[in-house]
Homo-oligomer: A and B are copies of this chain.
Amino acid sequence: MKAYLDNGNTTPVAEEVVEAMLPYLTEKYGHPLFIYSLGREANETVESASESIANTVGAKGSELTFTSGATEANDLAVRGIAKANKSKGKHIITSRVENPSVLRITEELERRGFKVDYLDVDSEGFIDLKQLGDLITNETILVSIIHASDEIGTIEPLKEVGEILEDQDHKVFFHTDAAASCARIPIDMDEMNLDLISISAHKIHGPKGIGALIAREGVKIEPINYGYLSLSNLRPGTENMPGIVGFQKAAELAFEDFDSKIDHMKKLRDKLMDGIEEKITETILHGPRGDDRSPANVNYSFKRVEGESILMQLDMRGISVATGSACATRKLEPSHVLTAIGVKPAVAHGAIRFTLSRMNTEKEIDYTLEVLPEVVEKLRELSPIK
């Protein structure tokens, strides 16, 4: 038995996605810039994929730019807005619970003379809306808040952020990193007053190497990379055709009968959470409960055990999970998100993150609930800390 519960880092590619990609790895190899038939076909394919992916968040195909992933999309959003609007102000607001991808970008902007404020979060990871309102000045050009924490599942109040920004006397652009929440939590750019959104294919059972930035019509943004601009005015380079087609198919699959897919993930999430709390003592849940939590995220610390040891033991039994920081497993730093919500380093190191997807099954959760308590118990027996 296997259970892949690390869908926050990457997901298996859906079979239908591979099938959709294959023609673009074989007979349909045209370059979309070219005017002969193979090229025209490729061009139409890019347009139709843009339309279909953008529609899932209520945007238009012409507002979508393909990138090599959400990391590049975040970079293009944050630095692209900063570059294009610095004459209006050099102040950016983000939060302490962003993915490192966004934080590395804002740190670079600080080195370039921008002022960046990082919103505090409460013990469940929610940003402080009052603080946001207080921090906005005439110089503020961008607010970038993650849609839902990829680590602790907290769904941030983007609608309320959007309202605060709409109430300002001047335009403050609003970006969200939705790589972790896309295809897990509904997004409506209009309703949330969002100007920019970053998404990624490999987090929704699409291929690695392709993502997108959606920027609403009229948003003033500049490219951050240079080279020959192909179909896009914002991002140079030959389009990743198989990736684009795979992304389109992945989005179509994920959003087909979306509500029932969300319900399915919620059911699995609650089953896993109930099971852990019932079968294992001394656990600490990170992030909120209920509707404010991503249907896909479960994150617990197991006291007196190292997360890494649990991860390795689960791996030996076919279960894949993440520990500590979302991405930092080779770096051994405690998660900045757990630190932001006030979790002590010792407890943070014991955190295990499970990320579900529409493709997980109840059987996998049953199996995990069979194996995990044994693993934790054994490791506690061996632990020097009693």
Chain A residues packing against B (C-beta within 8 Å)? 4, 6, 9-13, 15, 17-18, 21-22, 25-27, 29-31, 33-39, 68-72, 74-75, 79, 99-102, 104-105, 107-108, 200, 202, 207-210, 224-230, 236-243, 308, 311-312, 314-315, 320, 322, 327, 329-330
In contact, A236 and B35 (Cβ under 8 angstroms) = no
Q: Which B residues lie within 8 Å of A225 (CB)?
A: 71-72, 75, 224-225
In contact, B227 and A74 (Cβ under 8 angstroms) = yes
In contact, A34 and B240 (Cβ under 8 angstroms) = no
In contact, A227 and B320 (Cβ under 8 angstroms) = no
Q: Which B residues lie within 8 Å of A30 (CB)?
A: 10
Chain B residue at smallest Cβ distance from A330: B33
Residue of B69, B312, B315 touching A238 (CB-CB under 8 A): B69
Residue of B6, B21, B34, B242 touching A6 (CB-CB under 8 A): B34
Q: Which B residues lie within 8 Å of A101 (CB)?
A: 227-228, 236-237
- Minimum C-beta distance from A309 to chain B (A): 12
In contact, B322 and A34 (Cβ under 8 angstroms) = yes
In contact, A240 and B208 (Cβ under 8 angstroms) = yes
In contact, A26 and B35 (Cβ under 8 angstroms) = no
Interchain CA distance A105-B33 in the complex, whole Å: 20
Tallying the copies of this chain within the complex gives 2
Residue of B29, B69, B75, B330 touching A13 (CB-CB under 8 A): B29
In contact, A315 and B36 (Cβ under 8 angstroms) = yes
Q: Which B residues lie within 8 Å of A9 (CB)?
A: 31, 33-34, 238
Q: Which B residues lie within 8 Å of A4 (CB)?
A: 38
Residue of B35, B210, B230, B236 touching A209 (CB-CB under 8 A): B210
In contact, A237 and B34 (Cβ under 8 angstroms) = no
Interchain CA distance A197-B68 in the complex, whole Å: 21
In contact, B31 and A26 (Cβ under 8 angstroms) = no
In contact, A35 and B330 (Cβ under 8 angstroms) = yes
Q: Which B residues lie within 8 Å of A38 (CB)?
A: 4, 320
- Minimum C-beta distance from A71 to chain B (A): 4
In contact, B34 and A226 (Cβ under 8 angstroms) = no
- Given A36-B315, A37-B315, is A10 in contact with B25 using a C-beta cutoff of 8 Å? no
- Given A208-B238, A209-B242, is A228 in contact with B69 using a C-beta cutoff of 8 Å? no
In contact, A21 and B10 (Cβ under 8 angstroms) = no
- Given A79-B226, A330-B35, is A25 in contact with B238 using a C-beta cutoff of 8 Å? no
Interchain CA distance A17-B17 in the complex, whole Å: 18
Nearest first, the 10 A-B pairs at minimum CB distance are A209-B240, A71-B227, A71-B237, A68-B68, A36-B315, A101-B227, A100-B228, A105-B226, A10-B31, A12-B29
